[in-house]
A and B are shown apart, each in its own frame.
Chain A
């Protein structure tokens, strides 16, 4: 602790600093994953339960790659590319397969059935994990080990965990830039705003759907791939996360990208607060907020503007 800060620092501030730091870390991987989920909802109006599969598969693939690098004594510099490539690979392959073979056949069906279909897909891919990777947990701690620890405001945290915050910020920036400054981004915003008009304007909505779904899948996988070194990757890894990312998306506003950011921050910090102050409330508080938002403002805190239909 820097001597200059000592007189101003207290136990209380220490507590809040901890909550803020841990909260930001939680919020970071929640944001990366939820961003994908909310974009998919915004463009395709689908609540994708299978998003958990992207997360889980991203984590497993990344864990596997890290293990491979470690076992074969390859350069540590390969860790980051391995993680990123895992995410992209999983996003593209799983994303394409699911969109092409399941979702494309269901676009005009009842929204409940679509959600249930994605639930079915999620279950199948959960089992495929066991078949592919086995039931034993993976502990790909090497990248985290490599970056070491640091003292920050009196707390000892892994540098790798903190880099999650950096990653989330980069993702947020790229996303903001992409959506507002590029042609593709503007196309996407148009389709989110009003599908019918977009079709009428000649936008190839099917292509937009495929690209969106794969993009969202990559984000989901990235969350899992990057988080893997901080935890143990085992079957059922994604179950809690699926419903937490739903809470984030509902709180922030389904289909809203700033909403995903605010939602993740709210959920992340609430969780951190609960964990350090009243662990019994950890999950309760998140879902209570989700319920309250749904009751008071069902569209979420940052619902995307809806076009007036008449």
Chain B
């Protein structure tokens, strides 16, 4: 599956960029910038997951379900098992969300378009409803998370940063390997002609299910990392429907042509948010709304389509 993956241009650019980022962050970057990159990269994982679904014409209006589930899994594992190791936390977030996605996937893989979107919304609101009212989980105040450790040792913010870039690289490489494989090509094929795929011998529902689980794992991982970075989880900032909406917004803003797109988009989003809060704190929602409309009307391919044009990048996967 991974043969020759390091020869892939996008992968090389990603790794280079991450290394440069790590160096800059240890030497030069101010704290607030480092935070933005951390949040952007973490969230980028969720966006990568949504991008996978988008390429099969499936839009989940409830992906905050996995994002929040991963985050709360980390919080609960600390509360009841005292787990603070970052590697374990990430693994728990990914696996928990993946299992949930696996179960719900059996139902969701039968639906398309608006029904898929609405059903995913409904599932996410079911979780929200539970978390928002559950006293023992902190209801709307949420739960706090103590700083992570690494293999028993204290983990500084700087090293958390390095680890996040590492997780991002691992995830992105896996997804890129998937996208250039036969199964990955079924993505576009299914969107193009489901009947043909069935008659070529592969179950469309199974392909969608696999993809759905992958996107759930990614979103869960994102939630877990955010929880570790923020030190706090609560339903309104991680599970509510407007969080799902925000995730989809970033997906559209980023574009879906390449594995780099989600991370670029998510990082830009964090920076816009920082600047918006500084200059026009009351207008944040309007800025998001306005940008969303601008993208839908003027840049339907997202930021990535602009980058493609400017650098003549053209990263379509060839099957020569």
Residues of A within 8 A of B (CB): 47, 49, 102, 105-106, 109, 111-113, 115-117, 119-128, 130-131, 135, 239, 242-243, 246-247, 250, 279-288, 290-291, 294-295, 298
Given contacts A112-B59, A280-B134, 8 further A-B contacts (CB under 8 A): A113-B296, A116-B296, A127-B283, A128-B286, A239-B242, A283-B128, A287-B126, A291-B122
B293 within 8 A of A: yes
Partner among B117, B122, B241, B293 whose Cβ is within 8 Å of the Cβ of A120: B293
Given contacts A113-B296, A127-B283, A239-B242, contact A120 B289 (CB under 8 A): yes
> Chain A contacts of B286 at CB under 8 A?
123-124, 126-128
Q: How large is the interface on B (under 10, 10 to 19, 20 to 34, 35 or more residues)?
A: 35 or more
Q: Is B297 an interface residue (CB 8 A)?
A: yes
User: Known: A105-B297, A117-B296, A123-B286. Contact between A295 and B132, CB under 8 A?
Assistant: no
Is B111 part of the binding interface, using a Cβ–Cβ cutoff of 8 Å? yes
Secondary structure call for the B interface: helix
Docked pose: A284 CA to B135 CA in angstroms: 14
Q: Are A246 and B292 in contact, with the CB atoms below 8 A?
A: no
Q: Are B133 and A279 in contact (CB under 8 A)?
A: yes
What separation, in Å, do the CA atoms of A125 and B245 have in the docked complex? 16
**CB–CB B282/A284 < 8 A:** no
- Asked if residues A102 and B293 are in contact (CB atoms below 8 Å), the reply is yes
B304 contacts chain A at the CB level, 8 A cutoff: no
What does the 1/0 interface line of B121-142 toward A look like (CB < 8 Å)?
1110110111011110000000
Nearest 9 Cβ contacts at the A-B interface: A283-B129, A123-B289, A120-B292, A127-B286, A284-B129, A124-B289, A120-B289, A287-B125, A291-B122
Q: Which of B240, B292, B300 contacts A123 (CB 8 A)?
A: B292
B113 at the interface (CB under 8 A from A): yes
Are A291 and B285 in contact (CB-based, < 8 A)? no
- Cβ of A228 to closest chain B Cβ, rounded Å: 21
In the complex, which residue of chain B has the Cβ closest to the Cβ of A114? B296
Tell whether B72 is near chain A: CB-to-CB under 8 Å. Answer: no
- In the complex, the answer to whether A250 meets B285 with C-beta atoms within 8 Å is no
- In the bound assembly, the distance between CA atoms of A105 and B285 in angstroms comes to 22
Mark each residue of chain B from 98 to 122: 1 if its CB lies under 8 Å from any CB of chain A, else 0: 0000000001000101110111011
Q: Can you identify 11 A-B contacts, CB atoms within 8 angstroms? A: A106-B296, A111-B114, A116-B249, A121-B289, A126-B286, A250-B122, A283-B132, A285-B129, A287-B123, A291-B126, A298-B115
Most buried by B among A102, A279, A287: A287
Do B133 and A280 touch across chains, with their CB atoms under 8 A apart? yes
Pick from A112, A115, A121, A286: contact of B129, CB below 8 A: A286
State how many angstroms separate the Cβ of A191 from the closest Cβ of chain B: 19
Cα A123 to Cα B288 in complex, Å, equals 7
Interface string of B241-276 (1 = CB under 8 A from A): 110010011001000000000000000000000000
A117 with B293, Cβ < 8 A, contacts A127-B283, A250-B118 known? yes
Interchain CA distance A131-B128 in the complex, whole Å: 29
The chain B residue with its CB closest to the CB of A131 is B282
* Least distance between A110 CB and chain B CB atoms (Å): 8
- Contact in complex: A294, B133 (CB < 8 Å): no
Task: Provide the bound-state CA to CA distance between A121 and B59, in Å.
Answer: 19
Closest residue of chain B to A124 (Cβ to Cβ) is B289
Q: Is B178 an interface residue (CB 8 A)?
A: no
Residue B167 at the A interface, CB < 8 A? no
Does B314 count as interface, using CB distance less than 8 angstroms? no
* Closest Cβ–Cβ distance, residue B21 to chain A (whole Å): 30
In the complex, A170→B118 CA distance in Å?
A: 30
Q: Is B162 engaged at the interface, CB distance under 8 Å to the other chain?
A: no
Contact A282 B129 (CB under 8 A): yes
Expressed in whole angstroms, the Cα–Cα distance for A285 and B132 within the complex equals 13
Residues in A whose Cβ lies below 8 Å from that of B241? 239, 242-243
A158, chain B: closest CB distance, angstroms = 25
Distance in Å: Cβ of B312 to nearest Cβ of chain A: 27
Q: Of B134, B240, B245, B290, which one neighbours A119 at CB under 8 angstroms?
A: B245
Give the complex CA separation of A286 and B128 in angstroms. Answer: 11
Cα–Cα, bound, A121→B130 (Å): 29
Chain B residues near A281 (CB, 8 Å)? 129, 133
